[in-house]
Structure formats: structure tokens, C-alpha cells
Amino acid sequence: MRDIMFYKDFIGSIHYSTEDETFFGKIEGIDDSISFEGSSVKELKESFREAVEDYIELCKLNGKKPQKAYKGSFNIRISQELHRQTAREAIKRGISLNKFIESIIAEKVSASK
């Protein structure tokens, strides 16, 4: 389990600084860098919600979509052997390597909901 929290359609990553005795985090999945902090869990949650609301408002004022835009393509690094095995499995199924990997990712993401 990761240290994350949710508000509206946003994810906030959470960390703790032992030096400052403060929780802190940032809003993930956006094109900007927005952070929040609190000295208690309650303060952290409130700070996260305020950061999200402020960010949404700022995006509205600037005519910008708040969520990060994804291209639909990305590069991954895997071992040569796993690449070979995956390509062979796609061939056996009669689909492209991209379609095969997309179906596996979709299955894993759906299973985690």
C-alpha cells in the first residue's frame, strides 16, 4: 500500500519529515508542481483538499485543464527474455505486441478498482 490519499479526481502523495516533524505531499498527475503539508493527519488532509480546490480554481482562471494530458504512448524497459516471451505470446494470440500489452494493463487496472 502506498502512502497516498484521494480528493475529487486527484491523488496526493504523502511523506513524513522526521527532521521537521511534518507530513507533506504533492498533487500527482498534473502538469504543475503543487505541494501541501500539515503537522497532523487532519491538517494534512485539509491542506490537500485546499491545494486541490485552489489548483482547480487557478486552472479555471487560466483556461487550463487541471488533469495531466497523456499521449497514450510510453517506453518501458524490460529484460530481453521477457520481451521475447511477450512478443511470442502476442504472436500466438494473433495480435500486435502493443495490443497484447494494452490488454494486460487494462486487466490489471480493472482488477485493482
Chain centroid to CA 45: 18
Cα dihedral 64, 68, 69, 73, rounded to 10, equals 170
**Element housing 52 (H / E):** helix 41-62
- Looking at the fold, whether 23 and 51 belong to one and the same domain comes out as yes
Q: pLDDT tens for residues 28-79?
A: 999 999 999 999 999 999 999 999 999 999 999 999 999 888 888 889 999 9
Cα dihedral 36, 42, 46, 48, rounded to 10, equals 40
Q: pLDDT tens for residues 6-26?
A: 999 999 999 999 999 999 999
pLDDT on residue 67: 87
14 is a domain residue:
yes
Range of the domain at 97: 80-111
Question: What average pLDDT does this structure show over 93-103?
Answer: 94
As a whole-number percent, the residues of the chain with pLDDT over 90 amount to: 88
37 is a domain residue:
yes
Write down the residue that cell numbers 480546490 correspond to.
53
Write down the residue that cell numbers 530481453 correspond to.
80
pLDDT of 1 higher than 70: no
DSSP state letter for 112: T
- Looking at the fold, whether 47 and 94 belong to one and the same domain comes out as no
74 is a domain residue:
no
pLDDT on residue 68: 86
Cα dihedral 98, 73, 102, 93, rounded to 10, equals 0
pLDDT on residue 112: 78
DSSP state letter for 95: S
Query: Looking at residue 13, which CATH number applies to its domain?
Result: 3.30.160
